[in-house]
């Protein structure tokens, strides 16, 4: 085989991308202690990189327009190009780290190289350092993204000794003739039924797209019919530029669990209700109308089974929820979200979407381009809120403890705001990304998130405690926040989350 064909949904992510909407995901990580030496970091990469071959591969455009790009070894691979070393100016505040992250996230990855960057950032105040990792969505989705960062992370302060890696010899780039033969032979290896679809699509692509819309896309059509109420246009959709702002908010996972236990529902319901309330407050701060505002929100759910973790690529299921941004009452807001999510799960909408993404692996790119443009241009959804589960125990990189992960989703061409969450070791963190101009007040939006969560906590009779950004002393490390049961505010400190609301 001449290189591995790109998966269907992965191809879609390449096709949505333009010079302003960059389809990379990312994560900002803060660590306790002195930054490791750059050369030591390089050495760890050299020992472990063979475990994710995709990270030494680049895309090769297909010789035929209906075929997909494929992954080939990059003969010019240079680890020091991808792993970068930088520092913050004094005083090394989190605001300065956010600015650096926003700048890095505002730059599109070069398609002529393996599609990732890893930045080691020195000089974060409070005896910390940071990492900013950036990977194209075509390489990994949010869940396998954790797997890749995990490549450098250990479950113990002492990294387990790694055997020396096997020698890496890049396979030479295939010739054009080889590619052409491969491209022509390709569809014959897919299951018979799908091969027929593919062959028909070569003759009548528009017909197949229509089939796809009617049949497999049915669940999506249902979602549109059910929720497309034509509410007022909000600042969260519009033309974006290439530049970004980035911000974050930390919560204790125990707090969110206590809220969902009191109010009845899931942690994800708490998250979505919190976002609905945050946007409610944000619109009011901006002096915009909230009456009737509902946001169709894409909630990607990973359908990757654990056994699949070795093979990268996208296996996501999509659900479209409607956030009641109009709603002023936190308890009502939560109830609406919870009941809706329960109904969606019963309706099988998620299953329909799952079928769509799995079929994507077999459909030629012209069909996928149509399907993905359905999302991108017809604005089936206004916002993405994704929640990536992480491990509930501490991780270490070269012996330094990971304090906080802050995840990043890409912005679609018509979206000015993206919301990602990641849970880890007893905390659950929001990563907020916004267009530089349209979301000029992203910092205010972060305060609205705190305020909204505090309202939910109040409705549940809980007091929020914002996790510390600093390393915990050793005597606190055993049985940390994540392990504690929390059912009320007894014995807790001041409700910092509340006092940090909009003043």
Binding site for a copy of itself (CB under 8 A): 35, 38, 76, 81, 84-90, 92, 96, 99-100, 103, 107, 110, 112, 120-123, 241-243, 436-437
- Give 38 or 470: the residue with its C-beta nearer to a copy of itself: 38
Residues in the chain, how many?
A: 503
Which member of 22, 82, 136, 137 is catalytic? 137
In angstroms, the Cα distances linking 347 to 140, 220, 354 are 28, 12, 13
Tell me the closest approach of the beta carbon of residue 232 to a copy of itself, in angstroms. 24
Active site residue 204: no
- Give 100 or 295: the residue with its C-beta nearer to a copy of itself: 100
Tell me the closest approach of the beta carbon of residue 284 to a copy of itself, in angstroms. 24
- Give 4 or 110: the residue with its C-beta nearer to a copy of itself: 110
- As a whole number of Å, the CA-based R_g of the chain is 23
Tell me the closest approach of the beta carbon of residue 176 to a copy of itself, in angstroms. 17
Tell me the closest approach of the beta carbon of residue 94 to a copy of itself, in angstroms. 14
110: left (phi over 0), alpha (psi -120 to 50) or beta: beta
CA 159 to chain centre: 27
In angstroms, the Cα distances linking 503 to 131, 325, 449, 450, 496 are 32, 21, 14, 12, 13
Please, are residues 377 and 23 in contact by the beta-carbon 8 Å criterion?
no
Between CA 277 and CA 262 the distance in angstroms is 18
In order, the DSSP letters of 343-387 are: HHHHHTHHHHHHHHHHHTTTS-HHHHHHHHHHHHHTTS-SEEEEE
- Give 30 or 144: the residue with its C-beta nearer to a copy of itself: 30
Please, are residues 5 and 62 in contact by the beta-carbon 8 Å criterion?
no
Residue 420 exposed, middle or buried by CB count within 10 Å (0-12, 13-18, 19+) = buried
- Give 36 or 426: the residue with its C-beta nearer to a copy of itself: 36
Tell me the closest approach of the beta carbon of residue 74 to a copy of itself, in angstroms. 11
In order, the DSSP letters of 84-102 are: EEEEPPTT--HHHHHHHHH
Q: Which token pair is 188?
A: 């014959």
In angstroms, the Cα distances linking 356 to 199, 221, 284, 372 are 19, 12, 38, 11
User: Quick one: which of 126, 145, 123 has its CA closest to 134?
Assistant: 145
- Give 63 or 242: the residue with its C-beta nearer to a copy of itself: 242
- Give 245 or 304: the residue with its C-beta nearer to a copy of itself: 245
Residue 127 neighbours by CB distance under 10 Å: 11
Positions marked catalytic = 137
């Amino acid at each position: 085989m001449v290189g591995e064909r790109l998966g269907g949904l992965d191809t879609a992510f390449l096709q949505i991308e333009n010079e302003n909407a960059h389809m990379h995901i990312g994560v900002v990580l803060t660590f306790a202690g002195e930054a490791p030496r750059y050369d030591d970091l390089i050495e760890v990469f050299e020992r472990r990189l063979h475990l994710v071959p995709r990270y030494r591969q680049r895309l090769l455009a297909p010789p035929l327009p209906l075929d997909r790009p494929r992954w080939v070894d990059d003969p010019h691979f240079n680890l020091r190009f991808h792993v970068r070393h930088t520092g913050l100016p004094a005083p090394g505040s989190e605001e300065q780290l956010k600015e650096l992250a926003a700048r890095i996230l505002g730059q599109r990855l070069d398609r002529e190289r393996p599609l990732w960057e890893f930045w080691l950032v020195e000089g974060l105040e409070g005896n910390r350092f940071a990492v900013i990792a950036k990977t194209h969505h075509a390489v990994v989705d949010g869940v396998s993204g954790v797997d890749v960062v995990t490549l450098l992370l250990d479950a113990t302060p002492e990294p387990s000794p790694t055997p020396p890696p096997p020698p890496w010899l890049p396979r030479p780039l295939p010739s054009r003739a080889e590619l052409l033969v491969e491209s022509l032979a390709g569809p014959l290896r897919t299951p018979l039924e799908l091969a027929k679809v593919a062959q028909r699509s070569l003759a009548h692509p528009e017909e197949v797209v229509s089939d796809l819309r009617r049949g497999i896309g049915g669940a999506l059509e249902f979602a549109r019919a059910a929720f497309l109420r034509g509410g007022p246009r909000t600042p969260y959709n519009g033309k974006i530029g290439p530049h970004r702002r980035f911000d974050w908010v930390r919560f204790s996972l125990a707090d969110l669990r206590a809220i969902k236990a009191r109010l009845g529902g899931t942690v994800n319901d708490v998250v979505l209700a919190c976002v609905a309330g945050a946007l409610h407050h944000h619109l009011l701060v901006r002096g915009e109308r909230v009456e009737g505002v509902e946001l169709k929100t894409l909630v990607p759910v990973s359908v990757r089974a654990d056994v699949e973790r070795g093979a990268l690529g996208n296996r996501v299921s999509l659900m479209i929820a409607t956030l009641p941004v109009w709603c002023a009452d936190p308890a009502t807001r939560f109830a609406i979200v919870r009941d809706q999510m329960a109904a969606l799960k019963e309706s099988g909408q998620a299953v329909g979407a799952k079928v769509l993404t799995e079929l994507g692996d077999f459909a030629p790119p012209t069909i996928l381009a149509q399907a993905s443009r359905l999302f991108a241009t017809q604005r089936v959804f206004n916002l993405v809120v994704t929640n990536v589960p992480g491990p509930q125990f501490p991780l270490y990189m070269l012996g330094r403890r990971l304090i906080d992960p802050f995840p990043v989703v890409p912005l679609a061409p018509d979206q000015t705001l993206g919301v990602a969450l990641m849970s880890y070791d007893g905390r659950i963190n929001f990563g907020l990304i916004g267009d530089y101009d349209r979301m000029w007040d992203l910092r205010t939006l972060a305060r609205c998130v705190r305020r909204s969560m505090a309202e939910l906590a109040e409705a549940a009779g809980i007091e929020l405690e914002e996790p510390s950004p600093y390393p915990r002393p050793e005597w606190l490390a055993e049985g940390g926040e994540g392990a504690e049961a929390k059912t009320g505010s007894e014995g807790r400190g001041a409700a910092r989350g509340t006092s940090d609301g909009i003043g």
